[in-house]
Amino acid sequence: MLFLIGGAARSGKTLIARRLLSKHRVPCFCVDYLVNALEEGAPELGISAEARPEERARAVWPRIEPMLRSIVEMEPAYVVEGNALWPRGVRTLVDAYGDAVRACFLGYAITTPEIKLRDIRQYGGGVHDWIHDHDDADILDLMAEMIAYSRYLRDACRALDLPYFDVSDDFTRTVNKAYRSIAPLW
């Protein structure tokens, strides 16, 4: 079974992935690391951190789809999470593999950058969290971009009949709801 958890940065994807690891021993891979490697190691592919998130996800999909197909065909259970999962590609995998692929997307389409920044600073991350390396102005810019991306994800998921969870209000409850939507029944 392949669990795909896509969405905006700071939306709870990693929390769900870590819960699947701790409760069910399901290993996890963050596809964003692969995106960074492709950007730096294979610039000829045209994958850029400067591109809008939906463009980046679309560009990287042909490079990660074979890996995802291999995982679903060979692994008993595996989580792949990150903001570089493309909803249309995820829909294709769900259609091809049925119940062997569980997917959801998370975002925050109905908040403001200022509210999200406040929440990040109040509740965000551990000791090695990348967010600590950025000042408020950088985070506000990122959150504005991620709010726009969340709106894209919300609309794409609605059109593709994929689960989308908006964590703008009641973050913890919504992340728990998203977890329950894909958690294994074993």
Question: Residues 147-174: pLDDT tens digits?
Answer: 999 999 999 999 999 999 999 999 999 9
pLDDT of residue 74: 96
Instruction: Return the domain boundaries, the chain.
Output: 2-182
> What pTM value is reported for the model?
0.92
46 or 7: which carries more pLDDT confidence? 7
pLDDT digits (tens, 9 = 90+) for 108-142: 999 999 998 888 777 766 656 666 677 889 889 99
Structural class in CATH, domain 2-182: alpha beta
Distance in angstroms (rounded) separating the CA atoms of residues 90 and 61: 9
- Partnered with residue 139 across adjacent β-strands are none
Long-range contacts of 130-136 (CB under 8 A, 24+ apart): 131/10
The 10s digit of each residue's pLDDT in 85-111 is 999 999 999 999 999 999 999 999 999
